[in-house]
Amino acid sequence: MPSSPYHEAVWEALPGNLEPSDWQARLRFLLDHVRSGQRVLDLGCGEGRFASELQRAGAEVVAVDVAEEPLRRAHSANPTLALSLISAEGEWELPDAAFDVVWAGEVIEHVADTAGWLSEVRRVLRPGGSLLLSTPAHPPLRRLGLALVPGAWERHLDPRADHLRFYTRRSLRGLLTDFRFEQLQIRSLGPPPLPRVLLAAAVRSRF
């Protein structure tokens, strides 16, 4: 399948071997929720840093992205990773109910068709499987600051930027509930009252 020219351009503009934002904290969250032997889909794997750590922890990992450039970088860093290109739109070439865990680190905010994306997450997760994700936080004080600081709102919502969605704890909880995820746990990463990141763990309902 062809990769997304837009996403290829985004990745080609980024220098290689960048440490993911909040790397250690997000890695601890991920490893706290994944057991050795589980089959994990790293959805939007980038350069494969999280996938490699999951593999090292004993998980069976499939790492996928919508652009070839991050997959080339991931393979160069760790040739043992199972890497695949998936479509940015429509169904993924992945089997139904194939994974115990789906990890999407800093991905959902880039997704145009959120409903279609979550439908695919549900499809590839086994019933009772876990969705783990992180996304930038937008608590009330940050939203107030964006409204009050001249130019801040326009910079944050720059139409040329690659962040398409902006989540609060409430909106993320509502979205995951609507798609029949249960046992939701959402916490903030970073000092209050301006946390940087939302960390969410949820279980796919059986029906």
pLDDT bracket for residue 107 (50, 70, 90): very high
Residue 3 has pLDDT above 90, yes or no: no
pLDDT bracket for residue 201 (50, 70, 90): very high
Strand, coil or helix: what is 8? helix
Task: Answer whether 205's CB lies under 8 Å from 180's CB.
Answer: yes
Q: What is the mean pLDDT of residues 35-51?
A: 98
Residue 140 has pLDDT above 90, yes or no: no
CATH topology of domain 5-204: Rossmann fold (3.40.50)
Provide the pLDDT for residue 174: 98
Q: What is the mean pLDDT of residues 72-80?
A: 98
Question: Tokens 């939007």, residue?
Answer: 44
Whole-number Å distance between alpha carbons of 144 and 128: 38
pLDDT tens-digit readout, 14-42 = 999 989 999 999 999 999 999 999 999 99
pLDDT tens-digit readout, 82-99 = 999 999 989 999 999 999
Residue 49 has pLDDT above 90, yes or no: yes
Whole-number Å distance between alpha carbons of 116 and 114: 6
pLDDT bracket for residue 101 (50, 70, 90): very high
Residue 77 has pLDDT above 90, yes or no: yes
Provide the pLDDT for residue 148: 86
Q: What is the mean pLDDT of residues 113-121?
A: 97
Whole-number Å distance between alpha carbons of 87 and 167: 24
